Structure 1
Amino acid sequence: MTAFIRPSLILRMDLDERLFNDECVSDIKRSYSYVSPSFVQAHKPVDGQRPENVMRFMIKLHRAYWDKSDEAAQQLWEGVMPKWLHNMFSKVSNTITAANNVRAENGEPAFPYHWLELEFDDNALIAVKTGSDSSFPADGVDMVERVRDLMNDGALGQDVTCVRIPSRASYEAQLAAAEQAQAEAAASAEQGETAGQQGAQAIDVAAAEGEAVVVADRVADAAEGERADVADRIADAAEPAEAAAVNAAEPTFAMPELPAFNVDYGTWGIEYADGTVREFDAAAGAFS
C-alpha cells in the first residue's frame, strides 16, 4: 500500500531582499519547475547581517506519519519517507548545481542557499546548514530520522519551534575560525610575495633615484608658462577619472564570498516558542 503513497512538496525560497528582483524570481521558478511548485519571497537583512537565503521543503502527507507510537504512522514513515527524502535531496542538489553552472556560463556568480528547512506539516521544523556549494549533507536523511526519534521520546522538551543543525552559535564560531584561517593564509602568501619582490626592487633603486634627479632638474628649468600648461592638461585629464570614480562608488550589492569549509553538525540548536535556544550535543544525546 505504501508503495503508492507519495508526499507532496512545495519549495519556498526566502531571499535577502538585496538579492531579490524579477529576473531572479523568474530564474528560480524556471530552474525548479520540474521538481515541484515553488514560490519566492524576500526578507529584510537584520542588523546588516550577511545575506541569508533559505530554501524550505514544505512537505505534505495527508495522513498521520510522525507519531512512532502509532503503528500505522510508523509503517507509513518507514515505507515512504526515508527514500522519498533521499531522492528529493539528490534531485534538488543536482538542480542547484545545474542552475549555477548556467550562471557561470553567463559570467554570473553562483546563487547560494545557506539553509535548508524541512517543514513536516505541523509536526516539526528542521533547519540544516548547507555545504559551501549549497549542497545538502550526505547524511541529511539520518539527521531527520534522529530528530524524529528524539522528539517522539520527548528528549528535546516541549514547544520546540525549530531544530537547527548546527546551532547558529556553533556555525558562527566555525565560520569565524575559517575566516581567520583564510586571512592568515592570505597574509602569509602576501609576505612571501613581498619578500620575493624586494630583491628585484633593490636592483632598480639606484637607477630610479638617478632618473628622479634628472627629472627634478628639468622641472626646475621649465618656464613658468610651460608648467602652467602642464598643470592645466593634468587637471583636464583628471576630470573624467573623477567622474568614473563617482560612478564606481554608486552603491551596488555583491554577495560576499564565504570561506569553504566542512561544517561540523555535532551541536544542534533547539529553539523554543518563548525565544530561548538550548545547545544539544548530538553525539552524547544530551543538552550541553
Structure 2
Amino acid sequence: MYKPTFYITMEADPARFTPEGQGLASRLWSFTAPVDMKPSLTQELGVLLRMKCTGRPYWNAADAAQQKNWEVVARPALANKLHSVTDVLRGCNEKRYQHYEGDIHHVWLKLQLAPYQLRIRLDADAAGNEYIPDALALVDAVRALANSPEVQAFAEGEEQLAVYLPSRTEVEALAATRAAEAEAWAAWETAVSAAEEEALGEAGGDTGDAGNGCAPADTAGDSAGQTPLPAKPALAPGLSITTAEFVKPSGEGLVLPLP
C-alpha cells in the first residue's frame, strides 16, 4: 500500500549550526523521518514537517478520489507521524530536559502539506508548562476551511498559501503577554531568593546563649518581623487556537474562525 514520505527540517540558533549541532538534530529526529538542519532567521525556532503524497492529492473534499486519499492514505500517515513529532517536541521544549545545554525552545510546528504550509504556534508559560495543541485536529479544521467558498475565492490563482494558527495578530499578542510574564517571573524568583537568603542570614546570626551552654531562644514561631515571600505572578492559561489566517505570499491575509 502506498505511504506518503516525510522529511523534517529543524531550525536552529545559528550558534548551534555546527557539525555537533547537526549530529544532535539527527539523533533527535532520525527515527521519525530524514532530517536536516538550517539556521533560523529569527529568534523563534521552529520544526518543519513535510509530507510528500506524490500523485495523490487530498485537499478537495468534494472530489471522491481526493477524499478517499485523505481518509485512507494521507490522514492516517500524518496522524502517526505527528504522534512521534509531538513526543520529540515535548522533550526538546522541556526546560528540565538534561540532554541539552542552553535554550533550544521551539515555538512553531510547521506542516508543509502542499499547497499549504500550516504554522502552528506552540505555547509555554514562565513556569515551564508546555502547551502543545492537537495538530491533527487543526489540520482537519484547516482542510474544512480550505473547502469553503471564502478560502477558495481568496486562494484563486495562488500556488501556495501559509496558514497561521492562530492569526498573526493573536500570535503577536500572545508573544507580548508571555514576554511580560517572563520578566515578572524572573523578578519574582529574584525577590524570593533574596528573601530566603535574608531569612537564612537572620537565623544564622541568632545563636542565643549557645556559647554559655544554654538553649537558644525559640524564634521559630516569631514570624511577625519577617518579610513575607512575594506571591507568584499570575500567568495566562495555555493558548487556545480558535482562528486560522490564510496568508498569500504578498502578505494579504484572510482570518476565519475554526469550525
Q: TM-score, normalised by structure 1?
A: 0.63
Q: Measure, in 1, the Cα distance between the counterparts of 2:97 and 2:192.
A: 32
Q: Against the structure 1 CA distance between its residues 11 and 183, is the aligned structure 2 distance closer, same or farther, given a 3 Å change threshold?
A: closer
In the TM superposition, what whole-angstrom CA distance separates every residue of 1:67-97 from its partner, at most 9, and x where no partner exists?
2222111012112333322221111222344
Correspondence 1:58 to 2:58? no
Correspondence 1:35 to 2:49? no
Deviates more, 1:270-279 or 1:175-184: 175-184
Correspondence 1:148 to 2:124? no
Correspondence 1:270 to 2:246? yes
Partner of 2:83: helix, strand, or coil? helix
Give the aligned partner of residue 20 of structure 2.
23
Give the 5 Å matches for 1:90-169.
90-98=83-91, 104-106=97-99, 108-109=101-102, 111-121=104-114, 123-132=115-124, 136-138=132-134, 140-156=135-151, 157-158=154-155, 159=158, 161-169=161-169
Give the conservation status (yes or no) of the 8 Å contact 2:6–2:52. Answer: yes
Q: Against the structure 1 CA distance between its residues 65 and 105, is the aligned structure 2 distance closer, same or farther, given a 3 Å change threshold?
A: same
Q: Measure, in 2, the Cα distance between the counterparts of 1:192 and 1:44.
A: 36
Structure 1: unaligned runs, 5 residues or longer: 46-50, 205-258, 284-288
Q: Against the structure 1 CA distance between its residues 87 and 260, is the aligned structure 2 distance closer, same or farther, given a 3 Å change threshold?
A: farther
Give the letter for the 2:58 counterpart.
Y
In the TM superposition, what whole-angstrom CA distance separates every residue of 1:235-254 from its partner, at most 9, and x where no partner exists?
xxxxxxxxxxxxxxxxxxxx
- Computed over aligned residues only, the root mean square deviation of the Cα atoms, in angstroms, reads 3.4
Give the letter for the 1:76 counterpart.
N
Structure 2: unaligned runs, 5 residues or longer: 206-234
Correspondence 1:67 to 2:60? yes
Correspondence 1:12 to 2:9? yes
Q: Against the structure 1 CA distance between its residues 60 and 33, is the aligned structure 2 distance closer, same or farther, given a 3 Å change threshold?
A: same
Give the letter for the 1:137 counterpart.
P
Q: Measure, in 1, the Cα distance between the counterparts of 2:112 and 2:257.
A: 22
Q: Against the structure 1 CA distance between its residues 9 and 194, is the aligned structure 2 distance closer, same or farther, given a 3 Å change threshold?
A: closer
Give the letter for the 1:59 counterpart.
M
Give the aligned partner of residue 179 of structure 1.
179
Larger Rg: 1
Q: Measure, in 2, the Cα distance between the counterparts of 1:71 and 1:149.
A: 15
Q: Against the structure 1 CA distance between its residues 134 and 40, is the aligned structure 2 distance closer, same or farther, given a 3 Å change threshold?
A: farther
Give the letter for the 2:44 counterpart.
E
Partner of 1:114: helix, strand, or coil? strand
Partner of 1:68: helix, strand, or coil? coil
Q: Measure, in 2, the Cα distance between the counterparts of 1:167 and 1:181.
A: 21
**Shift, 1:107, TM fit:** 6.2
**Shift, 1:193, TM fit:** 7.7
Give the aligned partner of residue 230 of structure 2.
none
Give the letter for the 1:56 counterpart.
L
**Shift, 1:269, TM fit:** 2.6
Aligned residues: 216
Q: Against the structure 1 CA distance between its residues 98 and 179, is the aligned structure 2 distance closer, same or farther, given a 3 Å change threshold?
A: closer
Partner of 1:14: helix, strand, or coil? strand
Partner of 1:76: helix, strand, or coil? helix
Q: TM-score, normalised by structure 2?
A: 0.69
Give the aligned partner of residue 280 of structure 1.
256
Identical-residue share of aligned pairs (%): 22
Give the conservation status (yes or no) of the 8 Å contact 1:89–1:136. Answer: no
In the TM superposition, what whole-angstrom CA distance separates every residue of 1:1-31 from its partner, at most 9, and x where no partner exists?
xxx2321101112334244222111110122
Give the conservation status (yes or no) of the 8 Å contact 1:93–1:134. Answer: no
Partner of 2:60: helix, strand, or coil? coil
Structure number having the greater helix percentage: 1
